[in-house]
Amino acid sequence: MRLQGKNILVTGGASGIGLATVDRCLQEGANVVIADLPGSAGASLAAARDTQDGRRCLFLAVDVSATEQVDQLVADTVAQLGRLDGVFNNAGIGGLSAAAEYPDADFLRIIDINLNGVFRVARAALRQMHRQGSGSIVNCASILGVFGQSMTAAYSAAKGGVVNLTRTLALESAARGVRVNAIGPGYIDTPLLSGLDDTLRQALVRQHPIGRLGRPEEVANATLFLLSDEASFITGAHLLVDGGFTAGKS
């Protein structure tokens, strides 16, 4: 059990990559908090998984755009489980628009959730982990954290910020026993892509040399590694899980 007895917090944990990571952490012996919006399926998902094989799975509602809610999330996690050993900082939203036409409100909302929200969660977690002298944070970045793509000005800016924020947090925390890394998924077959027509879907598939979209559990496996003690000498990294998408063109 790679996470035996550890307490892991997963934001955006009620679907997609987040939920796959919840399940992998539970399988590897962790107690897990699913954190997601109040209207999500998080409560029922946690209830269905709680106390299986003696492990706890709890739901705590949070909007990562609200500092007070984020701080309370970490406080409630520690109050219920005793400590915080790992965080998958995964909550985020998408959005497409040409830069010249991007409304301020839409651009700023994506930045606030995908970048500022990652910072808020990391900041609250680091305060607890620094007190403990241990912990691991994995921030969800993206292939769009390392190169641009048309129609994604806000998303790409946010994810690029997450990559460099991760490096900075890692430098500040290394001497205090806390590791901070990022995961960079390619296009993953989640409900977010369910609305794509077949032409666009196949166009995305062709951009991955492996010849398919990624699966949520493949990102979860890489996240699990970074959360675990197996990655004890890794901090400040951005691990791409992208089927070769960013390797170049063949």
What CA–CA distance (Å, rounded) separates 250 from 244?
10
Is 155 marked active-site? yes
Beta sheet of 86-89, edge-to-edge order: 57-61, 31-36, 7-11, 86-89, 135-140, 178-185, 238-241
Instruction: Evaluate whether 165 touches 180 at the Cβ level (below 8 Å).
Output: no
Options 107, 119, 155, 187, the catalytic residue: 155
Between CA 43 and CA 50, with CA 45 as vertex, the angle to 5 degrees is 90
In one letter, which amino acid is 53? D
Pair type for strands 7-11 and 238-241: unpaired
- Give the single-character DSSP code of 61: E
Rounded distance between C-alpha atoms, residue 16 and residue 6, angstroms: 22
Positions annotated as catalytic residues are 155
